Amino acid sequence: MTQFTEAYDFGGRTLVDPSGEKIGTIVEVYAVSEGGRPEWALVHSGLLGSSKSFVPLRGASPTGEDVRVTVDKKTVKDSPGVEGGQQLAEAEERRLFEHYGVPYTAE
């Protein structure tokens, strides 16, 4: 299990799925406001890193220089589009949680 402090060192690392397939590069780690636990990673993927996706960090673990998550590359690729650096609307946030099967609770 990922330690709380380790997740903040994920920036710039390659994110891989359970089979080891590269998903993209972690740009930023987002924490839940209550308790500050790292919850999501913003990942650049696609040709020249042109796509941005949020990926849940629940169950993520460092694997050498990479970070392995529990969701597969196709699930990330099919995730709702997002823009990093701005607040997600509640409807966008809910869609993201539902896509990954993460229980949603509005904060």
Distance CA 50, CA 60 (A): 23
pLDDT digits (tens, 9 = 90+) for 59-100: 898 888 999 999 999 999 999 876 655 667 788 888 888 999
**Whole-number mean pLDDT of the chain?**
82
**For residues 43 and 106, which has the higher predicted lDDT (pLDDT)?**
43
Residues forming a β-bridge with 104: none
Answer whether residue 47 shows pLDDT above 80: no
Model pTM score: 0.80
Identity of the highest mean pLDDT range in 30-39, 48-57, 69-78: 69-78
For strands 14-16 and 66-68, give the pairing.
parallel
What are the tokens at 29? 């780690």
pLDDT at 19: 96
pLDDT level of residue 1 (50, 70, 90 thresholds): very low
For the CA atoms of 79, 85, 88, 94, the dihedral, rounded to the nearest 10 degrees, stands at 30
Backbone phi and psi for residue 14, each to the nearest 5 degrees, phi listed first: -85, 135
Asked if 40 contacts 58 with a C-beta cutoff of 8 angstroms, the reply is: no
Q: What is the DSSP-derived secondary structure letter of residue 1?
A: -
